[in-house]
Homo-oligomer: A and B are copies of this chain.
C-alpha cells in the first residue's frame, strides 16, 4: 500500500531527463514525435503518461517503458485511494 503522495511522472521526466540533457521542450517534443503542447502538458502535470507515451519515452531516453507507466499507475492509484471510503462496496464471500 502506498503511504505517501507519489510525484507526478511529468515532474520526474523534467528533472531526470529533460533538464540534465539541457535540451529544450520544443526539441524533446520533436524527438518524441509528439506536439510541443502535449509534452508541455505532461511536464506541468496537466496530462498523464499513456502506454504509448511510455514506449516513446523508453526509446528517446533509453529507459524502461514499464518504469514510466508504473509511475503513472502509482500516481493515479494514489488519487483513487484518497476516495476509498466514498465507494459503496461490500465485502464479497462465498455464496
A→B interface (CB under 8 Å): 1-2, 17, 21-24, 27-28, 31-33, 50-52, 54-56, 59-62, 64-66, 69-70, 72-74, 76-77, 79-81, 83-84, 87-95
Contacts and interface: CB of A to CB of B under 8 A. Distances in A.
Nearest to A32: B89
A52 B80 contact: yes
Stoichiometry, as copies per complex, reads: 2
The 7 closest A-B pairs by CB, nearest first: A51-B80, A33-B88, A59-B89, A51-B76, A60-B92, A31-B92, A22-B95
A92 B51 contact: no
Contacts of A72: 73
Contacts of A61: 92
